[in-house]
Amino acid sequence: NLYPVPAVNVLNMSIYSEKAMTQGNLSIVGIDGATKYSQMLNLNVGANTIQVPVSELSAGTYIIRILGNGAEPIQKLFVKN
């Protein structure tokens, strides 16, 4: 889940993980394919909430991606106002 959408200052992401993930990567990519933001990420087993700062992004549509530890990649679209 991503909220609020559209985002203004902070985008919250709720993720349920079946196993712990260390040294993962969260990135925000513009529709032009350019990485606009990136951070290292650790997930615990169970429910996780991640707050991603988006205030520096221009208004538009973006893809948020989470990759790491051989887990299935997560990709979600969101809109920034």
Q: What is the pLDDT of residues 6-46, one digit of tens each?
A: 999 999 999 988 888 888 999 999 999 999 999 999 999 99
The alpha-carbon radius of gyration of the chain (Å, integer) is: 12
What is the DSSP secondary structure assignment for residue 6, as one 8-state letter? S
Evaluate if residue 70 carries a pLDDT over 90: no
For the purposes of burial, counting CB atoms within 10 Å of the CB of 76, is it exposed (0-12), middle (13-18) or buried (19 or more)?
A: middle
Residue pair 75/63 in contact (Cβ under 8 Å)? The answer is yes
Q: Is 42 helix (H, G, I), strand (E, B) or coil?
A: strand
List the one residue out of 42, 11, 16, 46 whose CA is nearest residue 28: 11
